Homo-oligomer: A and B are copies of this chain.
Amino acid sequence: MVDCTIRDGGLMNNWHFSDDFVKSVYKACVEAGIDYMEIGYKSSDKIFSRQENGPWKFCDEKDVRRIVGENKTGTKISVMVDIGRIELDTIPPKPKSVIDMIRVATYVHQMDKAIYMAEQCMEKGYETTINLMAVSKVNERDLDEALHDVAKSKVPVFYVVDSFGSMYCEEIELITKKYMELLKGKTIGIHAHNNMQLAFSNTITAIIHGCNMMDATLLGLGRGAGNCPIELLIAFLKNPKYRLLPLFQAIQDNILPMQKEIDWGYHIPYLVTGAMNEHPKEAMQWMDSDRKNDFVGFLMHMHDTFSLLE
C-alpha cells in the first residue's frame, strides 16, 4: 500500500503544503501501518521554479528529514521522478538518504530511459518501480514492445496507471492480466483516478487479477477527481496489519478542512474528460474559472476542442 496524498495531492496546489500537514499525513501512515508514504516528486530546480512550487516538488533530503527524521518506523518513504525532469547525479546513494523507494513515471515512448533511470536507482541502493502513465492512450503494439523491454530489465515493480480516470473494469482486468502475463515474476501495481467514481472499484478489480501494490490517498486527495480513497481500501482489505482510526483522525483534522482550499473529487468536468479519455487539464482549468459549474458549457467546449484536434 502506497499513500500518495502529498505527491498526487500536490498536483492541485503546487505542493504548497505546510510542514504540519505533511507531518500529520506521515503520522497517520505510520500509525495505520501503511507500507509506503510517497512524500513528493524529486525534480530539478533547473526545470521547476522553487518559488512556484513547494518543497515536495523537489524532496531535498533536508526537507524530507524535517518531517520524518531518521524514519525509524514501519512506513517506508517514496518519491516519484519524471523522466527528463531530474538529473540522475543529484540523487544521492541510498545510505545517504532517508528515502527508500524511487518510482519512475514515464510515457511509453520514454520506456528505455525509464528503465535506465530505474536500474541506476537500484544501483544506488533504492527500491524502484516503473509507472507507465496514460496507458489508456497507448496502442497495443507500442505497449507490447515496452513490456518486452521491462520484462528483460531488473526493475521489480510495474504499474497499471489510469492517469485520466477513463478506464472501466473490463479494461483494468485486460491490462492487469497482460502485465501479469508478460511480466512474470514482477509485482504489478495499480494507480487509479476517480473521474468516474471508479478508482476504488478499479483498484479492487486489479487486486482480484493479481495486483499486489496499491496506490491510494486520504479521502482520495489527488489531481482532479483524485485517487482511490485509502480509507475505503483499508476498510475493504480487513487486513489486521492496517488500522483505520489514525486515517480517520488525519482526515477529520487535516484533509477535510483542506477541501475549502482545494477542489478535488467527483465533479462533472472531470467525468467529462474521463469519459472522453482525455487529460484532466482542461477540466482543471474550467474548475478554476468562473464557469466552474457550467457543465453544459464544458461539454460543448470539449466537443469543440477535440473534434477540431482529432
Contact = CB atoms under 8 A, between A and B. Distances in A.
Interface of A: 168-169, 194, 196-202, 204-205, 229, 231-232, 235-236, 244-245, 248-249, 251-252, 256, 266, 268, 271, 275, 293-296, 299
A132 to B, nearest CB: 23
A169 B296 contact: no
A194, A235, A245, A251, most chain B CB atoms within 10 A: A235
Contact of A251 (B200, B201, B268, B275): B268
B229 A275 contact: no
Q: Considering the complex of A and B, which 7 residue pairs feature the smallest CB-CB distances, nearest first?
A: A201-B201, A248-B295, A235-B275, A248-B296, A252-B295, A197-B200, A249-B296
A299 B229 contact: no
B169 A231 contact: no
Contact of A252 (B202, B248, B294): B294
8 contacts: A169-B169, A169-B205, A196-B236, A231-B271, A235-B271, A235-B275, A251-B268, A266-B266
Contact of A231 (B244, B249, B252, B268): B268
Given A169-B169, A256-B293, 15 more contacts: A168-B204, A168-B236, A169-B204, A194-B197, A201-B201, A201-B202, A231-B271, A232-B271, A244-B299, A245-B299, A248-B296, A251-B268, A251-B295, A252-B293, A252-B296
